[in-house]
């Protein structure tokens, strides 16, 4: 009771004092008190983002050019008849593998045989006429020297003999042509290859050098692949070719095995319409995995960089200002760093600038990172032990 009475006595005494203090001093005294009451609690530190990382390494990196190629048969022929006649026999089926010189079709030979017999008869007739003309020249030559026949008559005998000799030569040429036409009634494969679909069946009449072929034969092994690279690479290709044969790999989509061949041809001009230069590679194609008309992925090896800084492709991201990687620093924080990629081969990128060997880069989890964000390494991936390509390649950027 005593305490309450004391407060009641003191409080009225303080009121005049409080109201006697200027208002600005009173407000100034209240501001720190109100500010301390409204200050929010400190925000918690951001959680470390889990990431997978890999270590940039020095390794050999092949210098490759990638392109899309078209498979083309080295030899392709549309088989046609050279003579008119009826197609009697077909000794090949659709899609057969044929050998060089193998009989494919047989045309009725009887008209050609009759023409050959006629040519033989004409030759025999003209040969007999030639012998008679020679005998006349031999008989009348001594008489002419003695003046018993005129020189003009003797010249007629010699002219008749020379005409008979010429007639025999014509008959011999006609006989050779008849024999050739008879040989054309048997149509053989000009080279080993794969037959296409039979387009004319036995019983039909065929014409010499008709528009429609009997079938088409393509040589499958070896085989060509045509492709093109930007014209800016002409010097690199020619310089590499001067050092030796250039290896080329071809991959068919969906097929794991690779075909390995060599560059066989570089065109002598850059196509101004596309600013590309045409190249051709030759492949043994022993297993016939390359087929004419196919599109294949081509990788042309120009050389090898022995000491490139290599990271997995997944570590490199594309941003508005170019390629970048996240580097994990010693304090477990991510640093976003711009890099220049020389080329990508077999799932690995060669870094031309911006990264050193031994630095750790993020390969998974970049979407959760910003520059300076803390990270927690969940997995460390190892780069391949060898820089040799397995065939997948990208053009150097």
Q: Quick check: 241 pLDDT over 60?
A: yes
Mapping DSSP onto H, E and C, the string for the chain reads CHHHHHHHHHHHHHHHHHHHCCHHHHHHHHHHHHHHHHCCCCCCCCCCEEEEEEECEEEEEEEEEEEEEEEEECCEEEECCCCCEEEEEECCCCCCEECCCCEEEEECCHHHHHHHHHHHHHHHHHHHHHHHHHHHHHHHHHHHHCCCCCHHHHHHHHHHHHHHHHHHHHHHHHHHHHHHHHHCCEEECCCCEEECCCCCCCCCEECCCCCCCCEEEECCCCEEEEEEEEHHHHHHHHHHHHHCCCEEEEEECCCCCCEEEEEEEECCCCECCCCEEEEEEEECCCCCCCCCCCEEEEEEEEEEEEEEEEEEHHHCEEECCEEEEEEECCCCEEEEEECEEEEEECCEEEEEECCCCCCEEEEECHHHCCCCCEEEEEEEECCCCCCCCCCCECCCC
Residue 256 sits in the same domain as residue 322: yes
Confidence label for 382 from pLDDT (cuts 50, 70 and 90): low
Residue 204 lies in a domain: yes
Residue 121 sits in the same domain as residue 237: no
Q: Quick check: 389 pLDDT over 70?
A: no
Residue 278 lies in a domain: yes
Residue 44 lies in a domain: no
Residue 48 lies in a domain: no
Find the domain containing 17 and state its range. Answer: 2-34
323 compared with 30, residue with greater pLDDT: 323
Q: Which of 164, 199, 215 is the last residue of a domain?
A: 215
What's 254's domain CATH number? 2.40.30.170
Residue 94 lies in a domain: yes
pLDDT tens profile 292-349: 999 999 999 998 888 889 999 999 999 898 999 999 998 999 999 999 988 888 788 9
Average pLDDT over residues 18-28: 49
Q: Which of 192, 215, 238 is the last residue of a domain?
A: 215
Residue 299 lies in a domain: yes
Judged by average pLDDT, the poorest of 4-8, 123-127, 134-138, 155-159 is 4-8
Residue 275 sits in the same domain as residue 319: yes
250 neighbors 66 (Cβ within 8 angstroms): no
Residue 89 sits in the same domain as residue 63: no
- Count CB-CB contacts under 10 A for residue 220: 21
Is pTM beyond 0.85? Reply is: no
pLDDT tens profile 89-145: 999 999 999 999 999 999 999 999 999 999 999 999 999 999 999 999 999 999 888
- pLDDT at residue 47 in the model: 79
Residue 163 sits in the same domain as residue 244: no
**pLDDT mean across residues, the chain:** 86
Q: Quick check: 174 pLDDT over 90?
A: yes
217 compared with 148, residue with greater pLDDT: 217
The owner of tokens 């001093």 is 25
Confidence label for 256 from pLDDT (cuts 50, 70 and 90): confident
Average pLDDT over residues 343-358: 88
Residue 207 sits in the same domain as residue 231: no
Q: Which of 215, 237, 253 is the last residue of a domain?
A: 215
What's 180's domain CATH number? 1.10.287.470
Residue 392 lies in a domain: no
Residue 199 sits in the same domain as residue 236: no
- pLDDT at residue 28 in the model: 52
Q: Quick check: 36 pLDDT over 90?
A: no
Residue 67 sits in the same domain as residue 128: no
- pLDDT at residue 7 in the model: 46
Residue 176 sits in the same domain as residue 108: yes
Residue 386 lies in a domain: no
Residue 141 sits in the same domain as residue 281: no
- pLDDT at residue 292 in the model: 94
Residue 178 sits in the same domain as residue 262: no
pLDDT tens profile 38-77: 556 665 667 788 999 999 998 888 888 889 999 999 999 9
Percent of the chain with pLDDT over 90: 63
Tokens, residue 386: 């060898």
Question: Cα 385 from chain centroid?
Answer: 28
Confidence label for 383 from pLDDT (cuts 50, 70 and 90): low
Structural domains in the chain (count): 3
Residue 149 sits in the same domain as residue 286: no
């Amino acid at each position: 009771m005593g305490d309450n009475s004391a407060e009641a006595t003191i409080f009225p005494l303080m009121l005049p004092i409080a109201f006697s203090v200027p208002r600005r001093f009173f407000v100034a005294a209240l501001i720190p008190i109100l500010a301390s009451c409204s200050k929010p609690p400190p925000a918690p530190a951001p959680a470390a983002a889990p990431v997978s990382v890999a270590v940039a390494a020095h390794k050999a990196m092949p210098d490759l050019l990638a392109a899309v190629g078209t498979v083309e048969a080295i030899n392709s022929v549309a088989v046609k008849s050279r003579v008119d006649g009826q197609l009697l026999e077909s000794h090949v089926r659709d899609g057969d593998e044929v050998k060089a010189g193998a009989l494919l079709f047989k045309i009725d030979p009887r008209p050609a045989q009759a023409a050959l017999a006629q040519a033989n008869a004409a030759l025999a007739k003209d040969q007999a006429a030639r012998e008679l003309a020679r005998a006349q020249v031999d008989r009348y030559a001594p008489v002419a020297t003695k003046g018993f026949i005129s020189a003009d008559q003797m010249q007629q005998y010699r002219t008749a003999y020379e005409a008979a000799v010429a007639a025999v030569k014509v008959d011999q040429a006609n006989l050779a042509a008849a024999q050739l036409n008879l040989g054309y009634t048997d149509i053989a494969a000009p080279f080993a290859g794969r037959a296409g679909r039979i387009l004319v069946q036995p019983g039909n009449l065929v014409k010499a050098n008709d528009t429609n072929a009997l079938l088409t034969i393509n040589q499958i092994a070896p085989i060509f692949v045509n492709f093109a690279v930007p014209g800016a690479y002409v010097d690199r290709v020619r310089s590499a070719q001067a050092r030796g044969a250039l290896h080329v790999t071809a991959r068919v989509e969906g097929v794991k095995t690779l075909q390995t061949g060599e560059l066989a041809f570089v065109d002598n001009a850059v196509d101004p319409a596309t600013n590309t230069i045409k190249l051709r590679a030759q492949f043994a194609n022993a297993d016939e995995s390359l087929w004419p008309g196919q599109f294949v992925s081509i990788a042309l090896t120009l050389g090898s960089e022995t000491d490139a800084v290599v990271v997995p492709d997944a570590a490199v991201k594309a941003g508005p200002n170019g390629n970048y990687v996240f580097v994990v620093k010693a304090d477990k924080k991510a640093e976003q760093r711009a890099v220049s990629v020389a080329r990508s081969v077999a799932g690995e990128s060669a870094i031309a600038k911006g990264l050193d060997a031994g630095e750790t880069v993020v390969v998974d989890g970049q979407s959760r990172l910003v520059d300076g964000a803390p990270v927690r390494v969940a997995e460390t991936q190892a780069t391949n032990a060898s820089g040799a390509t397995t065939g997948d390649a990208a053009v150097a950027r």
